[in-house]
Amino acid sequence: MKDLTAIVTGAGGGIGNAIAVALAKEGVNVVLFGGRNVEKLEKTAKEVESYGVNSLIVSGELTNDDFLSDGINKVIERFGGVDILINNAGVAQNASVEQTTAEEFDKIMAINVRVPYLLTKKVLPYLKQSKRASVINIASVVSHAGYPNQSAYTASKHALLGFTKSLASEVYQDGIRVHAISPGGVFTDMVKISRPDLTADGMIVPTDISDIVMFLLKNRGNAVIDEIIVHRLNKQPFLV
Q: Known catalytic residues?
A: 153
Strand-pairing partners, residue 137, are: 87, 180
Q: Over the Cα atoms of the chain, what is R_g?
A: 17
CB of 216 closer than 8 Å to CB of 179: yes
Q: Could you give the residue ranges of the DSSP H alpha helices within the chain? A: 14-25, 38-49, 65-79, 102-109, 115-127, 151-171, 189-194, 206-218
What's the CA gap between 130 and 212, in Å, rounded? 22
Q: What is the 3-state secondary structure (H, E, C) of 163-221?
A: HHHHHHHHHHHHCCEEEEEEECCECCHHHHHHCCCCCCCCCECHHHHHHHHHHHHHCCC
